[in-house]
Structure 1
């Protein structure tokens, strides 16, 4: 009888361990059992299919593993190394891993210096880590030279059935930047492909040329936005030319171009969202321009351009200056009163489509400090500090005008040491750049930066933002009073809830539990607008979990 009773206690305790919950207001975080192996850290949650959760693990500099979990119990099922083969006697470099309609693919690249060719290939992989025999060639991009080989960029379709891939490269002698875009289905067959060289004239004053963003909508239409800016010295004007390249499936992917000309404002950056309302929204920061046509470079506010896809026409172009309460929070009262603008240290974190057809644009103070390299050649070490501080939240009406704005007060940083530093390879070259927002490199994930930033959730018309914070900031929303995160292993989650006027309500855990798991906002998978698969840890303890935003 005693043995039976003891067994019952162990069973109950086991159940509690498997389903331990951490709740903040209306958010439930439920975790599976502890991950006990030491084969590196999870750096990406790939997706969920066949009652399994698929994750990517990195150990050391370049040893990747495929780790699976049971969807219900969230306990580990398997762990297998991903061993990439050679292509033409050269090692493939890991680029991406994607789950398309329950089919898993590893994507790798190799550069052939002699042929000046950048090759991208995909290989099916089983959950046991076994690569398929067939290597599928996705790209064979000819470039001008090795140093201008560019890079590959990836985006999943809204239904996770397709993957959009773009390669860009500079052809300096031709005064052109080439882009090549392909849309692949679940069998890695190209449903759409296009290639073009966009010419530029860098003899113009203060010239900037950017391939700003690309996207795919729920109709499998493909979009690319290009921005060209320069100063007309004779007219003393700043001119911006924005082009939206449209490829609609219904039109056989015939290229269509919508041009937007802007005078006396400088476009600092441009992000795109193909919405459910059959339009495309272009948004980002802009700066003011002096009387001589020179841009001030600092952030004046947020703009919105709406392109109607049914007519291929520009419906609205709105420029919204930061209001005084927002500027006071970002700059302080004295500088705001003097009419100063915001420093250009903010990047678009995420864009949310609202129920009414408007947007919520969330930007974040982000700085990367690269320390001096220590050592000789490839064996040297280089310290990098990531800083991700306050977030600006702008809610835009359907016509693009400002509805409200506010600031999420936070102060976070983390430092890592890497063997080499090539974060921005292929991303920019002088006046020419690719502005597609890049995630933190996989090579530094698992070592601190993934604890930073925040995870926004928009559900039932309400915005919620959860992030890690210093326990001493409980209840504080004033940016002047917050303390820095400090040791992220001791962080606690906090939730900022926004009402329909942008007012913030802060929710913190009722009590701080010692040695509690810490959420990693940089590593998650969004299932629905109120359900996320998450990863949390504290020192050597790691768990996979689910985060549910309750109605």
Structure 2
């Protein structure tokens, strides 16, 4: 089986070169027709329905809907997203998504007079043009423009529901507000809840909406993490809760407390499985004797909650093993018992066939350079860095089966206007975890070439990413060279074995002008098929990657 899987992965890498349909065992990749209008770069693949593929493209500050034929992936139409105004205020494009077989674009606007944040949904017709009717989805009262908050989107497992959350900080009122709605294919509201969480007299409070999700049963879950230090008592107070809204209970709010001591939660990735278990996995840090959290990563926790009765069945805290720490912080620091820097963002949480989990966490750093120019016309250099990935395999009981590190060094730099650089919600001590996501306004400028695509198939994990040709055969993290010019990148793959060891697969013959995979731009049409996007300077193509056909 191992030999066959290596052949399949090798076939994957070879197929990326040839662009013709090649099948080796269970792996097949086919690229479609070349996209002639290459000045527009695809930044999101919304979905596929009725023989058409819908994608989002951008050029400078404008966004477009591109429609392709499913058969040969040739272009049908390109239409600019032009949302009409609301009370003489322009509606800003937010997101595109498919619910069931319908494609929608979403736009927001802040009404200064009413101090209200609005969100609208507009259907995308088969032609790629927007329908005339706008559906108002949110009208959330906020305090002022600086505290208008942000909207967040997440698909349901079956793709027939869309979960949208608005979150904002009311600093003067010492309140954090979130409003969450579950929508069906017609943009009807299936569930809705708004809540204000006070944090008065706790100025050092760190409040995070660590994750939010919808299950296969249309249950909605929100993870709340509060942390503050009681200076008098010299203790660290941690509130780690799940706010559950179950369809079987009429979406009434239920609170699930996850209790522990002397540790602080850093982040969280949530997964609700078909067996009625809600998994929460992420990093934690230790707490000093004076009650102050160290903030650096001590290891990985794993909690499992039985959804039917809200019982916390287990909670495990697993420290990093010595070998993993050596790869992350070096042998000298590992021997001294030092912890890992908190620069790793949860990338993916995958459920294994045995009921265990695989967590991928990627090093991510965003560097904002010194601006040049005057006032709002100043330009700022931005560098995105995505380096090694920590891969942790958990047993069904929450203990660590194995851990390893994928060695890679990737960076992409671009220059932008100083205003509106990032779309993350992070105001003071309040934040909403966006995982490894990158704002759409940044996509198309280089970061989409970075990161990786994890594929779990036949009990095997394969991680595909772009790499430097000088790294052929290199698995020592200390010897990895940077991928600086992503236009010259080649695909690499790491296939993991049952014991956590991996086999690196590299391409033997590199074509001079081969297309480069964009790992952050893909759409999973089924458990065994992906629509991908590859490009190189003036050449762009959609493709289809099939596994187990």
**TM-score normalised by length of structure 1:** 0.93
In structure 2, relative to structure 1, the CA distance for the partners of 1:342 and 1:483 (3 Å cut) is: same
1:546 partner SS: strand
Task: After superposition, give the CA deviation of every residue in 1:414-435 in whole Å (9 maximum; x if it has no partner).
Answer: 0011123435556122222222
Partner in structure 1 of residue 243 of structure 2: 245
Matched, 1:321 2:313: no
Partner in structure 2 of residue 48 of structure 1: 48
Q: How far is 1:21 from its partner? A: 4.7
Q: How many Å separate the matches in 1 of 2:29 and 2:482? A: 24
Q: How many Å separate the matches in 2 of 1:377 and 1:86? A: 27
Structure 2: gaps (5+ residues):
1-16
Q: How many Å separate the matches in 2 of 1:225 and 1:111? A: 27
Of 213, 216, 219, 1:215 maps to 213
Partner in structure 2 of residue 383 of structure 1: 381
Q: How many Å separate the matches in 2 of 1:315 and 1:285? A: 19
Structure 1 stretch 342-351 or stretch 171-180: which is displaced more?
171-180
Q: How many Å separate the matches in 1 of 2:229 and 2:59? A: 49
Partner in structure 2 of residue 432 of structure 1: 430
Partner in structure 1 of residue 139 of structure 2: 140
Q: How many Å separate the matches in 1 of 2:48 and 2:128? A: 16
Partner in structure 1 of residue 166 of structure 2: 167
Structure 1 stretch 434-443 or stretch 288-297: which is displaced more?
434-443
Q: How far is 1:25 from its partner? A: 9.2
Q: How many Å separate the matches in 1 of 2:361 and 2:380? A: 28
Partner in structure 1 of residue 109 of structure 2: 110
Task: After superposition, give the CA deviation of every residue in 1:451-507 in whole Å (9 maximum; x if it has no partner).
Answer: 000000111221110000111111221111111112111111011001121110111
Of 338, 341, 344, 2:342 maps to 344
Structure 1: gaps (5+ residues):
1-16
Matched, 1:189 2:185: no
Q: Is the 8 A contact 2:38 2:540 kept in 1?
A: no
Q: How many Å separate the matches in 1 of 2:502 and 2:28? A: 20
**How many residues are matched?**
534
Q: How far is 1:376 from its partner? A: 2.4
Task: After superposition, give the CA deviation of every residue in 1:241-266 in whole Å (9 maximum; x if it has no partner).
Answer: 11101111111111111111221111
Q: Which runs of 4+ in 1 moved over 4 A?
A: 21-27, 423-426
User: After the TM superposition, which residues 106-505 of structure 1 pair with which residues of structure 2 at under 5 Å, given as runs?
Assistant: 106-203=105-202, 206-424=204-422, 427-437=425-435, 439-505=437-503
Q: How many Å separate the matches in 2 of 1:77 and 1:429? A: 42
Q: Is the 8 A contact 1:418 1:444 kept in 2?
A: no
Q: How far is 1:331 from its partner? A: 1.1
Partner in structure 1 of residue 81 of structure 2: 82
Q: How far is 1:145 from its partner? A: 1.5
Q: How many Å separate the matches in 1 of 2:228 and 2:18? A: 59
Q: How many Å separate the matches in 2 of 1:407 and 1:23? A: 30
Structure 1 stretch 30-39 or stretch 291-300: which is displaced more?
30-39
1:108 partner SS: strand
Q: How many Å separate the matches in 2 of 1:76 and 1:289? A: 56
Q: How far is 1:386 from its partner? A: 0.1
Q: Is the 8 A contact 1:382 1:417 kept in 2?
A: yes
Q: How many Å separate the matches in 2 of 1:116 and 1:313? A: 40
1:442 partner SS: coil
Partner in structure 1 of residue 533 of structure 2: 535
Task: After superposition, give the CA deviation of every residue in 1:359-378 in whole Å (9 maximum; x if it has no partner).
Answer: 11100010000112222233
Q: Is the 8 A contact 1:120 1:138 kept in 2?
A: yes
In structure 2, relative to structure 1, the CA distance for the partners of 1:274 and 1:22 (3 Å cut) is: same
In structure 2, relative to structure 1, the CA distance for the partners of 1:492 and 1:426 (3 Å cut) is: closer
Q: How many Å separate the matches in 2 of 1:364 and 1:35? A: 32
Structure 1 stretch 218-227 or stretch 522-531: which is displaced more?
522-531
Q: Is the 8 A contact 1:24 1:507 kept in 2?
A: no
Q: Is the 8 A contact 1:29 1:548 kept in 2?
A: yes
Partner in structure 2 of residue 6 of structure 1: none
Q: How far is 1:545 from its partner? A: 0.3
In structure 2, relative to structure 1, the CA distance for the partners of 1:413 and 1:21 (3 Å cut) is: farther
Q: How far is 1:129 from its partner? A: 3.4
Q: How far is 1:380 from its partner? A: 2.2
Q: How far is 1:280 from its partner? A: 1.1
Q: Is the 8 A contact 2:199 2:205 kept in 1?
A: no
Q: How many Å separate the matches in 2 of 1:110 and 1:407? A: 43
Q: How many Å separate the matches in 1 of 2:79 and 2:283? A: 44
1:87 partner SS: coil
Partner in structure 1 of residue 58 of structure 2: 58
CA RMSD of aligned residues (A): 1.9
Q: How far is 1:148 from its partner? A: 0.7
Partner in structure 2 of residue 13 of structure 1: none
Q: Is the 8 A contact 1:18 1:33 kept in 2?
A: no
Partner in structure 2 of residue 93 of structure 1: 92
Matched, 1:32 2:22: no
